[in-house]
Amino acid sequence: MLLMIPGPIEVSPAVIEAFSGPPPGHLAAHVIEAHGASISQMRQVWKASDDAQPFIVPGGGTLAMEMAVQNTVEPGDTVLVVNTGYFSDRIGEMAARRGATVEHVRAEVGEAPAVEAVARKLAELQPSVVFATHVDTSTGVRIDPAAICEIVRGSNALTVFDGVCATVGERFEMAEWGADVYLTASQKAIGLPPGLALMVASKDAMERRRALREPVPMALDWDQWLPIMQAYEDRRPSYFSTPATSHIVALDVGLKEILAEGIDAAFDRHQTVADAMRSAWSSFGLELLPGAGLAANTLSAVRYPDGVGPDLVGEVKARGVVVAGGLLPGWKPTYFRVGHMGYSATRSDHLVKTVRAVGDALIELGHPVDVDAGAGHIESVFA
């Protein structure tokens, strides 16, 4: 069975090998080395400056979001959410539970709020943090983080980007754009098994943490984790909470693979693959949920054609490929989602099998398509 959902995803043979076997202790020399090396490599993959601080914490994307919120927001703050769907709602809810006044700037489903609308809200509200979801996995919409950083620059607001479905698959220039937090989870585009919350915080974000008057929940506190990260980067072990040792060994291998390819090359590859997948869907007469120019490179959110519905997902699975249904409340029965990120975006066979499975399933459900033509769009970019 081929796993082509927007996370977890198929991972490379080297990552599988690094992840397998008995769990090593957190004081093992190779774990200390992998932990320290991963911290330094994250700065490169995130394109962050030397004074930015990476964090590797057991958990997932939701935990990374919570950590970012708890360390940058305190009760009484006003924050702004550039809302593109399900995960933007979630981070807004987290900030509200932290006691902030949360304002959203929204758009129609499949669209992204206009930069001018964000700029107006920014001037009106003077928020302390602006949150945005780089790729909203529920709709496949990608926002433009550079444009948001640009308008926030010069204000006192921090920018926090949820990159869970984007990091490594979509261009992100943390230092150049001046973003303050970029967070992800191991099981999405970064290409590892689920289990790690990963984020990099700018110097300004770390200073915001220190200026908070309200305590941060201990397990989520950057200041609690900071000495641990610093120790490991100096190749010394240090204990606060047991690191996910097997994951960290695999993380080091995964990051080395990404840097061997080159992070810019990885961005370009995801773009090429996504263009080919979109050509395949279009040749099947399918339309995307995201509006023009907003479709992410890490996944496709595709509308069911007339006469076809959520049964498609089961028909595709019967052909050996797992794709995902819709996620957005109210819209779930109208579209399906296909991940094309990380390792599978290096494998023409994975992508061709997926396109063929979707094509054959469409035929089965009474929507005739040219399966070979669809597959041809993938084959031609790998030729």
Instruction: List residues binding ligand PLP (CB under 6 A).
Output: 7, 60-62, 87, 133, 137, 162, 164-165, 185, 188
- Residue 363 C-alpha from the chain's centroid: 32
> What is the per-residue DSSP string for 189-220?
TT---S-EEEEEE-HHHHHHHHH-SSPPPGGG
Question: Element (H or E) spanning 321, and its range?
Answer: strand 321-322
CB 104 within 8 A of CB 83: yes
Min dist CB 186 to ligand PLP, Å, is 8
Nearer to ligand PLP, 54 or 193 (CB): 193
Across 260-273, b (16+ Cβ under 10 Å) vs e yields: eeebeebbebbeeb
Q: Which residue is nearest to ligand PLP (CB)?
A: 61
CA gap 199, 47 in Å, rounded: 12
Strand-pairing partners, residue 167, are 170
Q: Smallest distance, Å, CB 162 to ligand PLP?
A: 5
Please state the closest distance from residue 204 (CB atom) to ligand PLP, in A: 23
Give the residue from 140, 141, 142, 189 showing the smallest Cα distance to 301: 140
Nearer to ligand PLP, 32 or 45 (CB): 45
CB of 7 to ligand PLP, least distance (A): 5
Q: Is 346 exposed, middle or buried (0-12, 13-18, 19+ CB in 10 A)?
A: middle
Residue among 147, 201, 197 nearest 174 (CA): 201
Cβ nearer to ligand PLP, comparing 86 with 382 = 86
Q: Which is nearer to ligand PLP, 62 or 78 (CB)?
A: 62
- The nearer residue to ligand PLP, 167 or 279, going by C-beta atoms, is 167
The DSSP code for 129 is E
Smallest distance from ligand PLP to CB 188, Å: 6
Q: Distance (Å, rounded) from C-alpha 53 to C-alpha 347?
A: 33
Closest CB 52 distance from ligand PLP, rounded Å: 21
Q: Which of 133, 202 has the CB closer to ligand PLP?
A: 133
Nearer to ligand PLP by C-beta: 138 or 246? 138
CB of 81 vs ligand PLP, minimal distance in Å: 13
Least distance to ligand PLP from the beta carbon of 143, Å? 11
Q: How many beta carbons lie within 10 A of that of residue 20, not counting itself?
A: 10
Q: Which is nearer to ligand PLP, 56 or 185 (CB)?
A: 185
CB 184 within 8 A of CB 65: no
